[in-house]
Every structure is written in C-alpha cells, then in structure tokens.
C-alpha cells in the first residue's frame, strides 16, 4: 500500500505553506467521481480499458473492503504522479491531495480488526510434515537415483500436485484451493501406506508412542488388546486433530473394536485411524476451533494459537511443549509466546522459514533454471537459503538482508570472495568421489569488494539475469513497490541502431522516450545501472582480482568501461552499488522493513492483507525501524498481534 505516514506529512506541510489550499480540499463522493471522470475514465473505462483497470465497474459511493486492492493501486499511482500519463491533463496538487485524503479516510484511517475465519486445507509441505510428526517417520520415495540426477525423497511431495499460490502469493493460502478427486485419492493412498508401516510386525517403535505401555520388540498383532486399541485411537486422534478428541468420539470408535483380536483388531484400528486421516479435522486448519457463542470477534483458543505458531514457524503441527501449554491455557500469555518463539527458532524445524517462506517471497525457485549441473545448483542455491536461515534464527537485524558482513559459502561458491576465501577450512575431495556437495561454511567478509547481503549473492544475480529483471525484482520483492505489467503493444528494445551497438543506457534512453514506458523505467533502470557491475553469472567485474571461477565466467566479453551510477526518481544519486545500498539502509529503510513485515504477516496469516491489517503493519514497522529490530522481533510481534490471536466468526441465518 502507499506509505501511510508520508501523505499525512505532505498534507501538513501544504497546510502550513498555503492555508487556503487546505480549505479547498473536497473529498465528497461527487467531487471524487468528477476526479475519476476527468482523469481516469478516458483510458480506464467503457470500451477502452488499459491494464485491466476499469473504473466503470466500481463505485466510490459504495467503496468497501472488497475494493481495497483497486483503490490502493489507484492511490499509489496518483500519489507518485505515475498517473495520468505525462501527455494527458494533470490534476492540480489540491485535487491529488483530495483524492489521497479520500483514500486514507476509507482505507488507512481504519480500526485494526482480525480477518474472518476461513477453514483451509493443509498445503502439501504442511501435510508432509504433519504426517511425519504424527507417525514418527517420513513416507519416502524409494527410487534408485542415477548419478547427477535429483530425486525428490518424499513420496508425498513427489506424488501430490503442486499447490498454486493463493491471493497472498503463498501456497499456504489454500482457501480457494479445494480438495480435488486426485488429491483425495492421494490422501487415501498415503494414509494406507503409513498405517501399514505403523503396524508392521516386529517394529513397534512408532506404535509405542501411541500407547501407555510398550509392546515387546518382536511383537505380533495378537499382542494388541482392545484396551491398547482404545489408547492408540485416543492418542492418535489427539495428535491428528491437534487438540483432544472428545470422550464420545473415542467411545464410538472403541465400541467397534469390541470382541476383536489379532489381525481383525488391527484391521479395525486401521479403518478408524484412516477415517481420522481423511476427516476435515485433520486435513483442514481450524475446523475444530472453539467458537464463543454470541461473539463475532473473539480470541482464538489456545490449541488454535498453538497451531498458528507451529505452522507459521515450522510448517508443521504443534509439538508436545506447545500442546502442553495449550492444554494448561497458558500459551496465550504474551511472555509465554515470546519464550516459545525463541525456543522454536532454535529448532531445526525453523529451517522452513528460509526453505518455504523466503523461497516463495523472493522467488528463489527461479535459481533452479540457472544451473544445469545439480551439484552447482545445490551449492549456489543453498548459499542464500543458509544466509536467510541465519538471519531468521540467530536474532539478526531485519536490515541485514541488505547489508551484512556474514555470508555462507562452499568451495564451489568461494570464488566470489577472493580475498576472504583463505579463511575457509580447506576442502579435500574424498578418494573415489568425482563430485561432492560440501556444506557451506560461515564466512565473515572483511576484504571482499562488491558483496554483502542477499542482493549481491551470485545465485540471486544469476536468476535475475539482466539489468531490467534485476531492477524489477528489487523493486517488487525487496522494496515492495507495485509495478504493473508492461503493455502488450510495447515495441521490442533495439540493441543495434544504424549499425551501432547501443549500451544498456542508450537502449533505455530511447525506450523511455515513450511516456508510458518511462513511468516504470524511471524506477527500474537506475537500479539496473547499479547491477551492471555483475555479469549474468553473478561475478563482480570491478574486482582487482581478474581471475573468475569457471562457473561464474561470462559467455560474453565484458565492457571494460562499466558505468554503475544512477539517479532515483526521488532525486537521490549514487555512483555504484555500495552507494545505492546506503540509500537502501537510510532513506529507503522504512520501505524495506515495511515490505518485510507485510510479507511475513501475510505468510503467517495464510491470506492476503486487507485494509484493516494496515494498523498492525504500521505498528510493527515503526517498532522495528526505531529499535533496529531483528527478524526474531518481527516473528514475535506477529505472534502477539491482533490478527494472529483473534478471528471473526460469521454467523449465518441457518445457524
């Protein structure tokens, strides 16, 4: 959304300089409709609809929560004078201020409220982790892999369809992704396979976790009694539902075990347990949450809070400690939440914050398309993931994503750090091994030029090959700026004109002659200029060490004269990426923190953010900016926030 404080400061400044302007601001629906008719409808209404934005389909008189995305974008382009186009009639400052004031009154100056409760099914990674925690083992894909091939080890991840991103952009946002017949059949198959393994004779280890007494090491099915069967069902249902099952439910299941023994008893147990695994209470989040009669907005119960915490930080079901705190009713205490976030971030399970959350937010799966050699792929992709895991789990400041003196590297990626790589432990290839993926080592950067932080890691630069893609990725993923899709009728960029090969700057100086193109490229191109110091493989070309590692050598001959200077739309100038980084760390600091907050909150809530989430974003952003807050601070503030701890239950007429 547009900066929520900048417009207010602008308005106050305008009032002080020219009091007459403030009194002329008209934000009535009639005035706003005239604004739209005069400056917007010509290109975005009726028969002519550019960018799929049609003002004739929406009303300012009845603007509501469902229209938030539409008016958020409109306010942003008007505030930053991206619209109307330069060659069209422009609104006066008073008119722009009035439009911004109307937007703020409807979508910024709002009360913080939680979202409406919507059950959602477990995403495929969540389902995989939940099944593993429930049974004590992973369902593995037993396929013999050949040399230099990558095989997915998880049977669930191998066979399940890929979850599409929801409106939030994250795959855990499954509200609009129902269970298809294909997914249903796979659930039934996984349940059957897991239960067969659970009851395999002679291997009672996992089964004993569901019993009050251990079975003998070489047990037979005849050793399981109906009383044991009831214990198995109660403990299994409690773990599967992520909260205690009722006595009535257990009794109903247990009665179907009466008079059975041996193989028949085990068969009946498997049937009841598979029924649990196929039930909405297991496959969906929140289906069994306690509802408070007569209350629309309410605190989520402790078991639901435990679920929200565990799936946020671990992408998995609650462990015994979370469950115990939920059972005692103490988990909702803010101090306990702080302690649990600290504990959970120290667990290896917190790795999913990098592997899942950050990978989706920053589109890191695009690295997969860069490297053909699986050994190189693993080495280059693990570097940003290990770095992000370090930031997330070791109380590092949020802004270290931009500037950090710590990186992670192996012998494969160490060539990017020529003056510091000597501090690494020497890699010795084992005899008889042609290639080996070696783990990354933590490396403190002291003398390496052009590195530090996420943006200058080789894999990040390589997946964003080219200055335009690098600039666009930085604006969207790091700064959180909205960039519309380029118009379909844009002519191709000419690399050669009149027999002369044009530089990147020359190409886009011509491209920006079109006012429609210039609006976005004035933001994108300067960032692209700064990244010109890196080739398409991510090698830093301005280093005084000219010997580049083979895997980072460019296919193209580099231009010995590289101009990395640029000027941002704000008027700020920089000579190189280091100077641009300082701009990011100072004047754009709040934007980067705000985007980090928005992305993390959206992932934690498993939905896209709405206008009523704005006050929460504002409060957390302000606190992190003031205190140079860490990622752990961010996770903790979200876990204690109103939308995370409360929900709204809609009551239908039928109920």
**Dihedral of the CA atoms 349, 354, 357, 359 (nearest 10)?**
-140
Cα–Cα distance, 535 to 462 (Å, whole number): 8
- State residue 647 phi and psi, 5-degree precision: -150, 165
Cα–Cα distance, 99 to 91 (Å, whole number): 10
What is the length of the chain?
655
Examine residue 415 and state whether it is found in any structural domain, yes or no. no
- Give the residue among 107, 95, 101, 45 at the shortest CA–CA distance from 71: 107
User: What pLDDT is recorded for position 14?
Assistant: 38
C-alpha 212: how far from chain center: 40
Query: Which of 32-46, 50-64, 252-266 comes out lowest in average pLDDT?
Result: 50-64
For 413-528, list the strands marked E by DSSP: 441-444, 496-497, 500-501
Number of domains in the chain: 3
What's the whole-number average pLDDT of the chain?
86
- Give the residue among 380, 312, 318 at the shortest CA–CA distance from 352: 312
Q: At what angle do helices 631-639 and 334-345 cross, to 10 degrees?
A: 140
Same domain (yes/no): 158, 45: no
pLDDT confidence band for 35 (50 / 70 / 90)? confident
Same domain (yes/no): 195, 258: yes
Examine residue 537 and state whether it is found in any structural domain, yes or no. yes
Tokens of 474: 């930085």
Same domain (yes/no): 452, 502: yes
Examine residue 292 and state whether it is found in any structural domain, yes or no. no
User: What pLDDT is recorded for position 655?
Assistant: 40
Examine residue 553 and state whether it is found in any structural domain, yes or no. yes
Question: Does 4 have pLDDT greater than 60?
Answer: no
pLDDT confidence band for 217 (50 / 70 / 90)? confident
Q: What would the mean pLDDT of 567-587 be, rounded to a whole number?
A: 94
Question: Does 616 have pLDDT greater than 50?
Answer: yes
Question: Does 383 have pLDDT greater than 60?
Answer: yes
Q: What would the mean pLDDT of 12-16 be, rounded to a whole number?
A: 37
Same domain (yes/no): 82, 139: no
Same domain (yes/no): 138, 40: no
User: What pLDDT is recorded for position 12?
Assistant: 37
Query: Which of 23-32, 200-209, 242-251, 302-311 comes out lowest in average pLDDT?
Result: 23-32
Q: Which domain holds residue 90?
A: 6-107
Cα–Cα distance, 332 to 304 (Å, whole number): 10
Q: Reduced to 3 DSSP states, what percent helix, strand and coil does the chain have, rounded to the nearest 5?
A: 50, 5, 45
Q: Which residues of 30-69 are buried (b: 16+ CB within 10 A; e: fewer)?
A: eebeebbeebbeebbbeeeeeeebbbeebebeebeeebbe
Cα–Cα distance, 409 to 128 (Å, whole number): 29
Domain boundary among 258, 285, 312: 285
Question: What share of the chain in percent tops pLDDT 90?
Answer: 60
The helix (run of H) or strand (run of E) holding residue 648 is strand 646-648
Per residue in 117-164, pLDDT tens?
A: 988 999 999 999 999 999 999 998 875 554 445 567 899 999 999 999
Q: Could you write out the DSSP letters of every residue in 510-542? A: HHTTSHHHHHHHHHHHHHHHHGGGB-TT--BTT
Same domain (yes/no): 139, 260: yes
Same domain (yes/no): 226, 186: yes
Three-state DSSP class for residue 444 = strand
Query: Which of 188-202, 220-234, 546-560, 608-622 comes out lowest in average pLDDT?
Result: 546-560
Pick 548 or 344 by higher pLDDT.
344
Cα–Cα distance, 6 to 108 (Å, whole number): 12
Residue indicated by tokens 């900048």: 6
The helix (run of H) or strand (run of E) holding residue 442 is strand 441-444
Same domain (yes/no): 568, 440: yes
Examine residue 1 and state whether it is found in any structural domain, yes or no. no
Same domain (yes/no): 546, 506: yes
- Give the residue among 331, 259, 328 at the shortest CA–CA distance from 639: 331
Same domain (yes/no): 167, 124: yes
Pick 61 or 73 by higher pLDDT.
73
Examine residue 48 and state whether it is found in any structural domain, yes or no. yes
pLDDT confidence band for 256 (50 / 70 / 90)? very high
Same domain (yes/no): 570, 534: yes
Cβ–Cβ under 8 Å, residues 415 and 375: no
Domain boundary among 585, 613, 645: 585
Examine residue 291 and state whether it is found in any structural domain, yes or no. no
Tokens of 7: 């417009």
Highest mean pLDDT among 178-182, 215-219, 267-271, 292-296: 267-271
Same domain (yes/no): 35, 142: no
- State residue 233 phi and psi, 5-degree precision: -65, -45
Number of neighbours of residue 608 by Cβ within 10 angstroms: 18
**Cis amide linkage into residue 84, ω under 30° from 0:** yes
Domain boundary among 72, 107, 142: 107
pLDDT confidence band for 604 (50 / 70 / 90)? very high
- State residue 57 phi and psi, 5-degree precision: -100, 5
User: What pLDDT is recorded for position 7?
Assistant: 40
User: What pLDDT is recorded for position 441?
Assistant: 97
Cα–Cα distance, 585 to 580 (Å, whole number): 9
User: What pLDDT is recorded for position 408?
Assistant: 97
Which positions ≥6 away from 638 have C-beta within 8 Å?
Answer: 312, 597, 600, 601, 604, 620, 644
Question: Does 496 have pLDDT greater than 70?
Answer: no
Per residue in 296-336, pLDDT tens?
A: 899 999 999 999 999 999 999 999 999 999 999 999 999 99
Residue indicated by tokens 């066979």: 159
- State residue 416 phi and psi, 5-degree precision: -75, -10
Question: Does 558 have pLDDT greater than 70?
Answer: no
User: What pLDDT is recorded for position 435?
Assistant: 73
Per residue in 333-377, pLDDT tens?
A: 999 999 999 999 999 999 999 999 999 999 999 999 999 988 899
Cβ–Cβ under 8 Å, residues 316 and 153: no
Cα–Cα distance, 476 to 479 (Å, whole number): 6
Examine residue 22 and state whether it is found in any structural domain, yes or no. yes
Cβ–Cβ under 8 Å, residues 439 and 411: no
Which positions ≥6 away from 128 have C-beta within 8 Å?
Answer: 138, 139, 154, 156, 157
Question: Does 1 have pLDDT greater than 80?
Answer: no
User: What pLDDT is recorded for position 96?
Assistant: 80
Per residue in 44-60, pLDDT tens?
A: 776 666 666 767 777 66
């Amino acid at each position: 959304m547009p900066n929520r404080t900048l417009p207010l400061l602008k308005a106050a400044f305008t009032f002080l300089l020219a009091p007459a302007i403030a009194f002329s601001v008209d934000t009535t629906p009639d005035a706003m409709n005239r604004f739209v008719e005069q400056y917007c409808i010509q290109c975005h209404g009726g028969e002519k609809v550019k960018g799929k934005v049609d003002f004739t389909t929406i009303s300012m008189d009845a603007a509501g929560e469902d229209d938030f995305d539409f008016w958020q974008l409109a306010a942003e382009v008007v505030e930053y004078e991206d619209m109307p186009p330069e060659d069209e009639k422009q609104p006066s400052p008073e008119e722009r201020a009035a439009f911004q004031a109307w937007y703020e009154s409807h979508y910024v100056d709002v009360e913080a409220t939680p979202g409406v409760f919507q059950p959602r099914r477990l995403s495929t990674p969540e389902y995989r982790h939940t099944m593993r925690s429930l049974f004590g083992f992973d369902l593995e894909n037993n396929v013999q892999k050949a040399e230099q091939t990558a095989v997915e080890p998880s049977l669930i991840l191998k066979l399940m369809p890929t979850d599409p991103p929801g409106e939030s952009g994250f795959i855990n946002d499954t509200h609009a992704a129902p269970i298809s017949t294909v997914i249903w059949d796979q659930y039934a198959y996984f349940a059957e396979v897991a239960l067969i393994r659970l009851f395999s004779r002679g291997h009672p280890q996992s089964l004993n976790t569901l019993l009050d007494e251990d079975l003998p090491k070489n047990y037979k099915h005849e050793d399981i009694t109906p009383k044991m069967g009831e214990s198995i069902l109660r403990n299994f249902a409690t773990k599967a539902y992520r909260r205690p099952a009722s006595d009535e439910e257990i009794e109903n299941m247990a009665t179907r075990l009466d008079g059975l023994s041996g193989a028949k008893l085990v068969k009946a147990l498997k049937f009841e347990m598979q029924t649990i695994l196929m039930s909405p209470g297991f496959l969906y989040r929140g289906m069994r949450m306690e509802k408070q009669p007569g209350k629309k907005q309410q605190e989520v119960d402790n078991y639901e809070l435990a679920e929200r915490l565990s799936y946020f930080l671990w992408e998995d079901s609650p462990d015994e400690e979370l469950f115990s705190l939920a059972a005692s009713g103490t988990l909702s205490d803010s101090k306990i939440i702080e302690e649990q976030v600290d504990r959970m971030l120290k667990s290896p399970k917190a790795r999913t914050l990098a592997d899942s959350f950050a990978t989706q937010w920053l589109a890191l799966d695009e690295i997969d398309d860069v490297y053909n050699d699986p050994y190189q792929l693993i080495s280059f992709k693990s570097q940003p993931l290990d770095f992000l895991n370090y930031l997330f789990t070791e109380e590092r400041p949020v802004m270290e994503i931009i500037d950090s003196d710590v990186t992670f590297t192996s012998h494969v990626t160490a060539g990017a750090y020529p003056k510091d790589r000597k501090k690494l432990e020497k890699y010795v290839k084992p005899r008889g091994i042609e290639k080996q993926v070696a783990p990354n080592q933590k490396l403190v950067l002291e003398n390496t030029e052009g590195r530090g932080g996420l943006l200058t890691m080789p894999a990040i630069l390589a997946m964003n090959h080219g200055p335009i893609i690098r600039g666009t990725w930085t604006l969207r993923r790091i700064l959180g700026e909205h960039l519309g899709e380029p118009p379909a009728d844009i002519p191709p960029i000419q690399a050669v004109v009149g027999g002369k090969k044009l530089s990147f700057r020359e190409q886009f100086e011509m491209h920006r002659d079109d006012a429609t193109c210039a609006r976005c490229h004035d933001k994108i191109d300067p960032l692209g200029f700064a990244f010109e110091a890196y080739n398409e493989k991510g090698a830093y070309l301005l280093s005084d060490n000219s010997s580049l590692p083979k895997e980072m050598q460019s296919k193209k001959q580099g231009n010995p004269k590289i101009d990395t200077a640029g000027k941002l739309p704000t008027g700020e100038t920089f000579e190189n990426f280091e100077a641009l980084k300082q701009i990011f760390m100072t004047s754009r600091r709040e934007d980067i923190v705000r985007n980090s907050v928005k992305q993390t909150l959206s992932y934690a809530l498993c939905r896209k953010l709405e206008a009523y989430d704005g006050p929460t974003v504002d409060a957390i952003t302000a606190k992190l900016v003031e205190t140079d807050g860490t990622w752990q601070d961010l996770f903790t503030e979200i876990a204690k926030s109103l939308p995370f701890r409360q929900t709204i239950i809609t009551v239908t007429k039928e109920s």
